[in-house]
Structure 1
């Protein structure tokens, strides 16, 4: 038994008056949260401009809240009256809590804490908003280390629910209990964490952002495709490069430098492009340019620049050639039938063959049928293919029940699907898509058969998520016609398709697949033939790092999941996602990534290997990182 867990939680101290030191975006947001919750707030900043901007921000925010019926005009005026500003730290003399949110520089923060030691009461709690610097060092260098802790809000503070409460080995339990109670009073979700760079949320987030920056720097994929892949493939609110611009490229680099200094994990060594952009003053939205270019400094509006795709550089079809989602409900689609474009343009596709009879195969067949294509669905046996078609019928029936599809469109889509127990039925297809087991030998055998039965010029596509596409291509006599077409599960719902071209894939095959993706309402992103493509190469190291946090007893799965959902806007926490994906599947992908890149930080966490060895694979076995009811 953990002796500490048996100790009583100390009674929290009442924290009424609060001083916020630093009235930038974060400081002003924290002041707004406190003032609207009924606390007298003293905002302290040496810049009169920052102070006036903070007052104006509170006035504008509360005015919007009145217009939306969230508060009354009286409540608005009371909140404004509770907030005052001052240029000197002496204004914090009567505060019960001081929250410091000055720039991420140790000397600056240390100067603030030293000055506060001479001003505030001995029972006043001092909190730092750092997410990169050592809370322990700040505490040790202060006059009363027991009252110093970290209180890490997330931007924008009024909207984001997460607050990380960071205690050092010097922090008094009563200080932790007091700020935890305050966070709950403010309507936030406090998560207790220890003192290490990045804590939980940023500790996972910034490694992922760094790898995305490195992926862009290597010219593996465009900034637009990297961001679209993570938004559409993982349901994230923002792509990683857009998020770096929002956070600030210089801020991200500072956090990563601290993380690397603490653990020497090369995955946290800042990508050189972050240093180059910072040195050039291109630090994101706040300067008007970072990975993207913005309308003006501080604007969120992206404007075209030299890297922006256009009709001449993009393979996307022009607007008149794309069926709208509304048109897809009518059953009146007509697939593209234009002649091939000179110079490697897309070839006409009327019929698509889908090899496989599992969940992914039936989902992909449904996508093509609803998109207007004639579909040949081939399983290892005719009965398996028929069962897959029955599964499609049920799925389409659900779409009708939810108003997403008309009955006529459902009937038309089903009529477009024919089934077969043999790949010989693919003789006339223009595009053949395999969706069989994720086993290279199985896929190579199937591609050898497709090579024999498909007509010359047909594009052969694999849906692999982790195997080398070139190995499938070399199993044929026409590797130039082979491409990766990685759908995401469930295929009818997920908008993303990673289009993977090998060193041998011809322009026509690539253009054909992109055009077909647009025709069926999907968003294609281009990437090269390397392990993980875009999404898995960024997603699974993040999941692996979450497992390492639990393995090191830094945080629990529940706290980590809460941190990423509430602090990062993720639709699922990493341990929820691991249990859904399957721990065995996750381990296999992480092994592939480690083998491909030979990066020590990508080695699968031993805890994940142990759970897989024990048969704890997630939802499908009833136990993974959590217990699950068997289906």
Structure 2
């Protein structure tokens, strides 16, 4: 079926469009690349030549293969040259008016059997399709940047997509060497609908002073095992791009989770857009913050489940545990806030919470009473036993779980809504974001009840509706289901 797509048009030859054109040409498909004018066309040709040139330099293509790929691409400034294309995919800016106007023109120019595809990352495919006389032949085909390298393609069908067309386009993606996931038409589809609220939530935690920028990035990279922290990733994506995707999500959902955090909105307004502008949440050539000194001597009391093991680690590092009344620092190992322990202590200002995340990170939680010097001393203790401290406030689920659990909750809601399968959601997040595990794999790893209880704690503290456990998650835990793998 995918073999019927033998001539493909690509409209818009920026970095993304040129990458898409290269993907088709690499698969032996004739490509007609269209740009608005001669200068843009020259830039598009440059993108193609540079990308394939880098592949040659890295030994991934031979010079002969590169010549064959470039020879399959015909460049033009006329949409009329797309009249005989079997499929046309657009990669123009993410502005609905631009896309609707383009699809009106393509509908007039292209043969009736041609499929018109949009590479939009978040806009409504249905709304784009409605501008044409062939809404059943309009589909989403969302590549990820850089297109020649990233394996994922989201194939988006609408309520009126012709039967079988999504399958044909998915087969075409496989012909390109990609892994397709087929999803319904919801703002943000799978990857952006799960990723952007998580990034936005990180910005909210920063704005609320729960932890620092670097602390949150470190916690999610080393503690949660993600390739990048949320603020490094926001700077890479572009704060303006992230803001626009959140705006699209919010217009559809009116969910506060999708309302851009003021700290993000203000940076966009100030032109701090990330790497593209030289600074966003991070600045170019930013000095590295100095690491605090390890404590030379400290009397420590260790409380909580796992306290004996942690005390043994301190002892191996040369520190001796003492009773609470003699301690300069009281460390309470806990996965929940520890402030309720404070009234029972002789010196409540010496109490800090310690939440061990994986085998590299310890979240060091200061209560409303904790003295700054005590928090610094606790961070030094953590370093002394070979862990990376992440200072934070004594709030429900601290940092990692406060960001991870709502993301997993969103995935459950997405699956329950019926517009993507569990396997496709897991595949999309692993391939689209570079995560080691998909959200349902992570849910099974952590335990459904653990995540449900964490969400309940977050909702009890913050009272945000999106933090309430998804009904399906509540039902599965109530029914004694331990893993999504146990579902049919």
TM-score range, shorter chain: over 0.9
Q: 1:536 to 1:47 in 2, by over 3 A?
A: farther
Which residue is 1:441 aligned to?
A: none
1:63 match? 53
The whole-number CA distance in structure 2 between the counterparts of 1:143 and 1:241 is: 43
**Local SS of the residue matching 1:525:** strand
Alignment of 1:556 with 2:421, yes or no, is yes
Q: What is residue 342 of structure 1 aligned with on the other side?
A: none
1:473 to 332, 342, 364: 342
- Please give the per-residue CA displacement for 1:42-79, whole angstroms capped at 9, x wherever unaligned: 22222545433433333333333334333322111111
- Whether contact under 8 Å (1:352, 1:368) holds in the other structure is no
Report deviation, 1:476.
1.0
**How big is the shift at 1:247?**
1.8
Q: Relative to structure 2, which stretch is displaced further, 245-254 or 85-94? A: 85-94
Query: Quick check: 2:141–2:155 contact (8 Å CA) kept in 1?
Result: yes
Partner of 2:207 in structure 1?
Answer: 217
Q: Of the two, which has the highest radius of gyration?
A: 1
Deviation at 1:365, TM superposition (A): 6.2
**Residue 4 of structure 2 aligns to a residue in which SS?**
coil
Pairing 1:451–2:395 present: no
Match of 1:39 among 29, 44, 54: 29
Paired residues for 1:45-444 under 5 Å: 45-46=35-36, 48-294=38-284, 303-304=285-286, 310-311=289-290, 316-317=292-293, 346=295, 348-349=297-298, 356=305, 362=309, 364=310, 368=314, 372-374=316-318, 428-429=320-321
Distance 2:224 2:63 in 1: 41
Q: Deviations over 1:154-177 (max 9, x none)?
A: 122222211111011111124322
Deviation for aligned residue 1:183: 0.4
Shift of 1:612: 0.9
Structure 1 partner of 2:432: 567
The equivalent residue for 2:384 is 519
- State the alpha-carbon separation in 1 of the partners of residues 41 and 386 from structure 2: 48
* Residues 135 and 356 of structure 1, relative CA distance in 2, 3 Å threshold: closer
Shift of 1:221: 2.3
User: Structure 1 residue 232: deviation in Å?
Assistant: 1.0
What does 1:479-628 align with in structure 2 at a 5 Å threshold?
Answer: 479-489=348-358, 494-617=359-482, 624-627=483-486
- Segments of 5+ residues of structure 2 without an aligned counterpart are none
**CA separation of 1:78/1:616 partners in 2, compared to 1, >3 Å: closer, same or farther?**
same
Cα separation, 2, equivalents of 1:13 and 1:81: 20
Q: Is the 8 A contact 1:12 1:175 kept in 2?
A: no
Separation in structure 1 between the aligned mates of residue 216 and residue 136 of structure 2, nearest angstrom: 44
Shift in alpha-carbon separation, 1:310–1:48, aligned structure 2, 3 A: farther
TM-score after normalising by structure 2? 0.93
Is the contact between residue 430 and residue 437 of structure 2 (CA under 8 Å) also seen in structure 1?
yes
Q: What residue ranges of structure 1 are gaps of 5+ in the alignment?
A: 1-10, 295-302, 318-335, 337-345, 376-427, 431-449, 618-623
1:462 aligned to 332, 348, 354, which one? 332
Q: Deviations over 1:443-480 (max 9, x none)?
A: xxxxxxx525xx242x2112222x22211233211112
Query: Segments of 4+ in structure 1 off by > 6 A?
Result: none
**CA distance in structure 2 between the partners assigned to 1:23 and 1:602 by the alignment:** 41
Aligned-pair Cα RMSD in Å = 2.3
Q: Is the partner of 1:586 in helix, strand or coil?
A: helix
Q: Give the CA deviation at 1:277.
A: 2.1
